[in-house]
Structure formats: structure tokens, C-alpha cells
Structure 1
Amino acid sequence: MAAISEEEEAKLERFLDWLQVNGAELGGCNIKYSDSRKGFGIFASTETSDDVLLVVPLDLAITPMRVLQDPLLGPECQKMFQDGQVDDRFLIILFLTFERLRINSSWKPYLDMLPTRFGNPLWFSDDDILELNGTNLYHATELQKKNLLSLYHDKVEVLVKNLLILDGDSQSKVSFEHFLWANSVFWSRALNIPLPHSFVFPQSQDDIGECPSTSHSPETAPVNSNEEKGNLACNYNFMRSGDTIWVEGLVPGIDFCNHDLKPMATWEVDGTGSVSRVPFSMYLLSAVAQRLIPNKEISISYGNKGNEELLYLYGFVIDNNPDDYLMVHYPVEAIPIIPFSDSKGQLLEAQNAQLRCLLPKSVLNHGFFPQTTSTIRESDEKETERSCNFSWSGQRKMPSYMNKLVFREDFMTGLRTIAMQEEEINKVSAMLEELVESRPGEQPSETEVRMAVWEACGDSGALQLLVDLLNAKMMKLEENSGTEEQDARLLEEACVLESHEEARDLDGRRMSRNKWSSVVYRRGQKQLTRLFLKEAEYALHLALSSDY
């Protein structure tokens, strides 16, 4: 645990006081500085005796409902939201942008604790972003930055400027970096919160009028008032499941938990206070059997996320990530120029075929060449099951390799259709016409069309196309950044700077944290491409051997 400056220490003290004033309880943990990569984190305290480590009232959560109720932001946001111009995530990002610039924001103790820069590719320098060239993230980042710039100029810049003037501040200037900061805060810290229905709708609909207004209090006072417990819905569109309404938002305090593959805690929502003793609260719960070691960082899991998602959203990667994955796709824009594109397009639609496939590292344990470093999950096994497991005419036998094929059947269905030759299309048409004639007024089902296509084509054409796609992917990765072995050497020799700033006086070994993250991510993509290519090539060999 690293030391921090007096200024950072003072910010932390103000934030802890702010949490306490707003009803949060840090019974079994403390918030402390972790390191330059993680920033602040949550650590077990010496007094830890209860499984409930931290409790935060849901009134403190930053949700779309809060934004729509804001006396300054609310009217403008409701107008844009009801017209479908923006979504619920934009509301929170706009709120963060505005509150960061407000001189007397009641959220200042919290916002001052958040990072000012991030490790996701949107914050990369021009040199660092080139390290991603050839990967999915390179173009995704370019496109996202372009979209954010457009959104900022179209909907944020003038609105925030006018709101600041209404708030009595004509000096503060909003910039794209403020909006970029708020976007990164949201995507790296937001939770999908299962709010109790009675919290979102505390009154009967007959009693609810317009959304109440609340004035912003000084930073030493609570951010909520009792008047705010009116209509929290405010025309917001919820995802509802029974008595639970799922809402994305930030929960100050809980959001300082960092990610780990072996989490020590999890968070839960308590609608009645039966566990946390605070009704309508979120609490951090120990997930380990033994008592937590004092001053040890308490981590949670952000989910089974590959390095592509971790880097893009959270700004970090995990070396040798067991949850890594590879995205393979056939370009949709190429369909109009392939032979018999109209017929193939109709067949793709009839089969509900997919032209992209997410390949988790863990499914390799189910394949021809198992990887002992990862474990197969039940969900991965289900993805490999074939939807039709018998031949249309009995002439084509089910291949012996079927249970070892790691590629999803709906993706294989798409590739089979794309790779079809003219005689195969004619054969499928004849089989389906015969079926329709035998059942007047009834169209072939999705499974029946898939059976006909497989009967006519087998797997060899699809697997050859898959091999070509994986070879093209590897070529693109290596063309821009060298081989997997070269990346491995770079990482072995690198002296990584523990910040997101660019390395100075580079001697070939010193490496910025951003570059290191990029190399770890792209090496993982090359490794997975190599391993899945090996699977596809062996399956192709078996398919060619078994075709009649």
C-alpha cells in the first residue's frame, strides 16, 4: 500500500466524512490508497468481525432518476429523454460532467476522489494507440472517440455552459475532456443495481404528481432530503423482473472495490434492512470463509471478462487472463458480392444463422487440444451443442468429431451457408420444396432448413472458410505488431512505468503502462487465434476425411 500526499489525504478525509454524513457505515473496512494503477481501494479494518463490511444507502446512488429530478438538469434531460434523443447512460454521464464543474457541488467530496485520467484506449496518446493497430480495439476506439466528440458538440457543450450560467458560474469552461472523463467514470464504475420496486415507487401512482425538486446543499450536508422520496420514476424506462427494477448507476463507496480473479467480497441490495440494518441500502459482504486479514485489500469480481473488455471499459488487463476470448466474424458487407448472395441471404435468415462468434478461452478444454490452464464452464459446453443431430436422408453420417468442435453451431450454420456452391443450393431448394409439397400451407422450420443445408454441404466448406478467417485475422495482427513471440519478449524485457503517462528517455525496455496493457492484450489475441486456428484446421482435416 503506497503513501499519498497530504492533499490526497485531505480529500480522503473529506470523502469519508461525506459518506458518514450521508448514512454510509464502514464497519469492517477502510478506504485507502492502493497504488498508482488501482488508485484508491477498500481494505479490511482491524475491527472486522462482521461479514457486512460496508453499507451505503441507495439514496446516495447516482441513477437516471436522480438526474431527471435535478432542478437544473432535470427539465432539459426529461425533454431529451422523452424524445428518445438520449439514453439513461447519457443522463448519468451528463450529470457527472456538470457536477464536476460546479463550484459548490454537493458531490464534490466524492468527485474529487475519482481518477482524473484513465487507462482505457480513449485516453491513449497517438503513439500508444498505434500499439493496438490490427486488433478489434483499434477501430472500436477510433469510432467511439468520434461518436463521443459528436455527442459532446451536439448535446453537451452548449447545455452545460448554459446550466453553469444558470447556476451563477460564468467562469468555468466545459471541454471535451470533461465529458470524456465522465464517460470513463461511468463505464468503469457503474453497477447494474437491482432496486426494490417499493424504493423506486414509494407511493401509489394516484399520489404521485410532478417530480419534486431538491436544492443542492453544501458539501458537508446530506445530498438527499425527505422531499425527494416522491416519484423516482419520472418517466424512466425500467428493466423489471418481478419486484426488482434493474437500474444502472454509481454507488459511492462501493465503487472503490477493485477487481480480482479471486474476489474476497460481493455486493448485495437490502430492501428491508434485515441484513445491513439500513433499509434500501447496498452492502459489501465478505465472500471468504475465514476472517479477513487486517489491511488486506478487499476485491470483488467485475465478471468473467476478457482483456478486450477490461481494457476498453476499465483501463487494465490481466496477464494470462483465464477469461480471455476471441471474436471472429464474417464481414456482413461482403455478402452482397458473394455468388448467389440473394439465395444465401434468404437461407441465413431462415436459419437464424450468426456471422460472428465469441470464442472463450475456456472452451479449448472441450476441443481436440485441451488447454490445462483454463476450466470449461457449463455455459461454454452448451454453446458447442449441435441443434440438428441427424441426417435428412440418412446418407450423411454425424461426424465423429462433433463433440470436440469448439465453434458454436449457429456460427457454423452461417459459414456453411456462405460457403455453399451452386449445386448445394439447388439441392437444398429441392429438399425444402419437397417438404413444403408434403405439408401444404406450412413452411420449413429453422431446424429443418439447417438440416437441409448440413445434408447438402457438410462441414468442410464452413471449416475451410473459418480457417481462412482465422488466418486473415492472424495476418492482420502480425502485420501491425509482429508475432506472438516478439510480444512475449517485449513483456519479458519491459520495465513498466507504474502510471498512464508516456515513458520518457525510452531505452527499448522502459514501457508505459498503456503500452504494456496493449501488448498483453494483443499477445493474448494472437495466442487465441493460433489455438483456435489449430482446432479449425484439425476439424477441417477430419471433415474432409469423413465427407462422402
Structure 2
Amino acid sequence: MGSYEETKLQLFLEWLKLNGVELRGCNIKYSDFNKGLGVYSSHGVADGIPLVVPLNLAITPMRVLQDPILGPECSAMYEDGDVDDRLLILLFLTFEYKRKNSSWKPYLDILPTSFGSPLWFSDDELLELKGTTLFKATELQKKSLRSLYDEKVKNLVKKLLVLDGDLQSEVSFNDFLWANSIFWTRALSIPLPRASVFPQVQEEQQNYMDGDNGKKNEVESNADGVNSYLVQEETVWVEGLVPGIDFCNHDLKAAATWEVDGTGAATGVPLSMYLLSVEEAHHQIGEEISISYGNKGNEELLYLYGFVTDNNPDDYIMIHYPAEAIKDVPSSETKLQLLGAHKAEMRCLLSKSLLDRGFFSNKEETDDKGEGTGVPDYSWSGQRKTPSYLKKLVFPEEFLTCLRTIAMREDEIFVVTSLLQGVNTYSHACYYGERQPSDLEVRAAIWEACGDSGALQLLVDLLNTRMMDLEEGSGTEDSDTQLLEKYAYCKTTEDTKSNSIDKKQELSRNKWASIVYRRGQKQLTRQFLKEAEHALQLALSEGN
């Protein structure tokens, strides 16, 4: 870390102190090229609270609306729905980033200016994602952000700068892109007391309690029957940036969690956010204090935060049947009606953990049949028997019902229609009126009519198509593995200086992350394809 960066860091640490932030048992310092800055233990703290940040320092939508410059310009737009909570924060960041004399300068100067998310990939790096969900998602996101910038951000921020007395500064799309990346890589969902989010509620309640009713000390209820004290204590979740805590890096085995102290009972600082060391963690001096960003697969980690985890246990693939393709299948109108009747799920998330109870798992069987899988609990006539493979089927029932509906033959549609008409006939006989079949009844009728084989064949086709798209874009899973073995050294350094390694072999961090992500997608697609093919063989052999 150079002297210039060290100076900026010291100014930032002084800024934190001036704003009431307490580094009780930690320091913020440079980690490495991939992580940037991080929070590190400096000495032990008896209560396990190494860092406390007053929430009046947090960048939240309320702060933006109360800002003397942004507030008047944004309030009307916010009330009309022209800007939402997130855009308010993006406007704030873009504006303060361009201001010459911003009071936020020590914080903004220390924030990263480059990111590993696909939005910042070069054209060459983006091609590494071809065939993946992220490739198209990144193109769409960049187009959407460009439109948002042109329509709402550019002129407004320029106007705000003029109001601030700056007639020369120009705003660029990259400034807005920077603000967007800062928000998505650092924002937290903060649980705040309702009265701090909507101060007018607290003011109205206080006026009521101080009124002429002579009941200042009694607990009153408002017009909706809600206790006024309870309204004050109600929690509202707000997205925002919390300087200091936002420098904690991610780890699956987090060393700390973050908590909000509304009363000051835990920290002595009312309405603050603090780090709390987990019981298992015994921080050594100089050890990094990490938090968990949640159980996220590499697709989400790369898209939002710009990094991946090799062999991520929370990895997943998304499978969907394209809605526009239904119009080309036989009896599409009838099938669309049935899909609506059972509230069809046109897509499903297949997480790696599902494979733990699949056909090829080495783990011991459990007596439960798993969550969200299997056929309906009963058969209309009892003629279609429960499949023997039910407990091993890893695919969600809601998605399988969708595929059953799309794959149905004409004669199977007739059976479903007859069964559902029977529901209305029975209803009329018993209650002298008709009722619509329930979701469960529609799903059961569809399974009774066609079983699993058609749906599983369609699922095999979808997974095969997905695998072909992935391999056409970037080669096979084996070729990705060979690349990662060859370029493994590039994971931790920006520029390898070793003379023993040919310079032509260097691989950028973005390319390395792309290969890790796409290889994981290929691995899971192959494994779920194997599950689907085996289930299809069993279904055909059992007449399902």
C-alpha cells in the first residue's frame, strides 16, 4: 500500500472517529489485491464488540430526503414514485462523489474504484461468460442502467451540482455505474425503529400524548386499534450503507455478525450498529474479522459482489421453460388454462444440496421424502401407483407439474378435463353450486392422467439444451478444470512477477472468476441431468 493510499486511510479513520465510530478492538487496513481493505482484530474485547457505528452516519433513503440539497429536489419525485429507495442512495453517492467539498470525501476517497462484477468486464472478459445466465443478465442490466442514467440521473445530478455552486463538473455514466456498484457490494438491510424511519409518526404520537385529553401516562390506541407505543417500537427494514462495518469481507465461516442496538443497552450507543464476535471465534491480533453475506451461489456472488468461491456449497442452477415457447406446443390454449389453474412454476432453482439425497448420493437415506418434491399425496382412482423412486427425486413438484402439463398428449388432456369436471358435478350434487378445483386437485388430476415420464423427458431436454449452451460458449467442464489448474496462481495476486512463469500464461482475476463460475454451472447441470435421466428410466419401467 503506497503512501498516498496510507494518507487516505488515515484521513478516513480520523473521519470515522469524528463521526462517533468506535474501533474498540479492531483496525481497518489493507488486506490484499482481491479483497482491498478489511477489518482486523487489534486486541481482545471482553464483551465481544470490536466496532460500533452510530446509525446517524448510515446512508439511507431518509438521509437523502433530509439532505438540504438533494431533499427538496428528490422528495416530490419520491412521493410520485419516479425514484425508489435504492435510486435515492445512488443519486446521493453520485452527487457526493462529484462534489468538490463533500463532507463525505474521506469515506468516498477510500472506497474502491474498480470492481470484479461483470458490469465492469472488458468485452474479452465478458465472452468468458457466454452461454451462462450471467452473460445475458449483464447485457440487460447495463442497458437498463444506461437508460436510467440518461432519463433520470444525468440531468438531475448536474442540476444538483449547479445548486451547490459547481458550474464546471460533468457527470458521466461511469460515475453512476460506480455508485451502483458501491451500493450493491456494500449495502446492508438495517432493522430500524419505525419512529426513526418515519419521524412524523413519533411527532404525531407525542402531540397526541401531550394534548388536552389528560391521559399522558396511559397507553392509548390509534384509529386502527394499534397501541401507539407499539407503533414506535415496530421495526422497519431499510437498505443502506454503514461506513466502517461495510469494510468487513465475506467468509462462509464468519468471525462476527452485525447487530443493531436500538436502546444502547449492548453498546452504550443508542441507535447504533455493531459487530459481535461469534462465540467460536477467538480473534488473534491481526486476524481478519469477517461477516457472512449469506448462503449465496457463485452466480449471485459474482453478479453482485464480483467474487466467487471455489467449490461453493451453496451453488445452484436455474432451469426454466420459456413461456413464449408454449404457444407452439399442441393444445396450447388448454394447457395455458391448466397452468394458470395450478399456479404453475415455470422455473426452478436446483441447489447443490438437493443432490445429497438424490439417486447417486453417498449419504444415508432419511425417512422423510424431502421438501418440495414428490407426486401429490393421493391418486384420484388409485390406479396410478406411487413411484418407487419418490424419495430420491430431487426436482420440485411444482416445476414437474408445470412440465407434465406442457408435455401432455391429447388423450391425457381429455382425462384431466373429465376428472376436474367430476369435481364440479360432485360439488353441485352436495352443495347445489359449483366450485373451482383447488390447486392440489388440478395437480393430482394431471399426475393421474400422465404420470412423470413426459415431464422427465422434457426436463432431460431442457438440461441437455442448457449444457449445450454452456459448452458452445466456453468448452467443456474438463477444459475449464485444466485452465484452473494451469492458472491457479493468479487467484491471489494482481500481477505475478515470478520469472519461472511465462507472462503469456497470466490470467486476469475476472477471467479466473468467470471460469470458476461457469465450471460450477456445468458440473451441476451434468449432475442434475444424470438424476433426470435415471428418474426417466425408472418412470418408464414403472409405467409412470
Kindly indicate whether the alpha-carbon contact (under 8 Å) linking 1:266 and 1:286 is maintained by their aligned counterparts in 2.
Answer: yes
State the Cα deviation string for residues 415-444 of structure 1 (Å, max 9, x = none): 111111111111100111111111022111
Kindly indicate whether the alpha-carbon contact (under 8 Å) linking 1:390 and 1:397 is maintained by their aligned counterparts in 2.
Answer: no
Residue 451 of structure 1: which of 429, 440, 444 is its match? 444
Residue in 2 aligned with 1:509? 505
Residue in 1 aligned with 2:214? none
How far did residue 377 of structure 1 move?
13
Kindly indicate whether the alpha-carbon contact (under 8 Å) linking 1:48 and 1:292 is maintained by their aligned counterparts in 2.
Answer: no
How far did residue 467 of structure 1 move?
0.3
Which amino acid is the alignment partner of residue 517 of structure 1? A
With 505-514 and 34-43 compared, the bigger mean Cα shift is at: 505-514
**Matched residue of 1:305: which SS?**
coil
Please give the alpha-carbon distance, in whole angstroms, between the structure 2 residues aligned to 1:307 and 1:241: 40
**Matched residue of 2:259: which SS?**
strand
Please give the alpha-carbon distance, in whole angstroms, between the structure 1 residues aligned to 2:37 and 2:289: 11
How far did residue 194 of structure 1 move?
0.7
Residue 61 of structure 1: which of 58, 63, 69 is its match? 58
Residue in 2 aligned with 1:347? 338
Residue 97 of structure 2: which of 100, 106, 110 is its match? 100
Residue in 1 aligned with 2:427? 439
Kindly indicate whether the alpha-carbon contact (under 8 Å) linking 2:358 and 2:394 is maintained by their aligned counterparts in 1.
Answer: yes
State the Cα deviation string for residues 118-172 of structure 1 (Å, max 9, x = none): 0000000010000000000000000000010111111111111111111011222
1:10-409 equivalent positions in 2, closer than 5 A: 10-202=7-199, 204-206=202-204, 243-370=234-361, 381-384=370-373, 386=375, 388-409=376-397
Please give the alpha-carbon distance, in whole angstroms, between the structure 2 residues aligned to 1:41 and 1:428: 60
**Matched residue of 2:242: which SS?**
coil
Kindly indicate whether the alpha-carbon contact (under 8 Å) linking 1:19 and 1:253 is maintained by their aligned counterparts in 2.
Answer: yes
Kindly indicate whether the alpha-carbon contact (under 8 Å) linking 1:322 and 1:362 is maintained by their aligned counterparts in 2.
Answer: yes
- TM-score if structure 2 supplies the norm length? 0.90
Please give the alpha-carbon distance, in whole angstroms, between the structure 2 residues aligned to 1:377 and 1:316: 35
Please give the alpha-carbon distance, in whole angstroms, between the structure 2 residues aligned to 1:341 and 1:41: 55
- Identity percentage over the alignment? 63
Please give the alpha-carbon distance, in whole angstroms, between the structure 2 residues aligned to 1:16 and 1:192: 24
Kindly indicate whether the alpha-carbon contact (under 8 Å) linking 1:67 and 1:95 is maintained by their aligned counterparts in 2.
Answer: yes
How far did residue 11 of structure 1 move?
1.1
Please give the alpha-carbon distance, in whole angstroms, between the structure 1 residues aligned to 2:30 and 2:20: 22
Which amino acid is the alignment partner of residue 176 of structure 2? F
**Matched residue of 1:185: which SS?**
helix
Runs of 5+ in structure 1 lacking a partner?
Answer: 210-239
**Matched residue of 2:23: which SS?**
coil
Kindly indicate whether the alpha-carbon contact (under 8 Å) linking 1:500 and 1:514 is maintained by their aligned counterparts in 2.
Answer: no
Which amino acid is the alignment partner of residue 247 of structure 1? V
Residue in 1 aligned with 2:473? 480
**Matched residue of 1:320: which SS?**
coil
How far did residue 50 of structure 1 move?
3.1
Kindly indicate whether the alpha-carbon contact (under 8 Å) linking 2:380 and 2:444 is maintained by their aligned counterparts in 1.
Answer: yes
The verdict on how the C-alpha distance between 1:297 and 1:73 changes in structure 2, with shifts beyond 3 A counting, is: same
The verdict on how the C-alpha distance between 1:185 and 1:502 changes in structure 2, with shifts beyond 3 A counting, is: farther
Please give the alpha-carbon distance, in whole angstroms, between the structure 2 residues aligned to 1:207 and 1:500: 57
Please give the alpha-carbon distance, in whole angstroms, between the structure 2 residues aligned to 1:538 and 1:190: 43
Please give the alpha-carbon distance, in whole angstroms, between the structure 2 residues aligned to 1:502 and 1:408: 46
The verdict on how the C-alpha distance between 1:379 and 1:311 changes in structure 2, with shifts beyond 3 A counting, is: farther
How far did residue 76 of structure 1 move?
2.2
Matched residue pairs, number? 511
How far did residue 509 of structure 1 move?
2.3
- TM-score if structure 1 supplies the norm length? 0.89
State the Cα deviation string for residues 165-218 of structure 1 (Å, max 9, x = none): 110112221100000000000001001111122332456343799xxxxxxxxx
**Matched residue of 1:259: which SS?**
coil
Residue in 2 aligned with 1:224? none
Kindly indicate whether the alpha-carbon contact (under 8 Å) linking 2:491 and 2:512 is maintained by their aligned counterparts in 1.
Answer: no
Please give the alpha-carbon distance, in whole angstroms, between the structure 2 residues aligned to 1:297 and 1:501: 23
How far did residue 261 of structure 1 move?
1.0
How far did residue 73 of structure 1 move?
1.2
**Matched residue of 1:258: which SS?**
coil
Which amino acid is the alignment partner of residue 135 of structure 1? T
Radius of gyration: which is bigger?
Answer: 2
Residue 524 of structure 2: which of 502, 522, 528 is its match? 528
Kindly indicate whether the alpha-carbon contact (under 8 Å) linking 1:30 and 1:42 is maintained by their aligned counterparts in 2.
Answer: yes
State the Cα deviation string for residues 386-412 of structure 1 (Å, max 9, x = none): 5x2111110001111111111111111
Please give the alpha-carbon distance, in whole angstroms, between the structure 1 residues aligned to 2:368 and 2:77: 39
**Matched residue of 1:542: which SS?**
helix
Please give the alpha-carbon distance, in whole angstroms, between the structure 2 residues aligned to 1:282 and 1:158: 35
Which amino acid is the alignment partner of residue 541 of structure 2? S
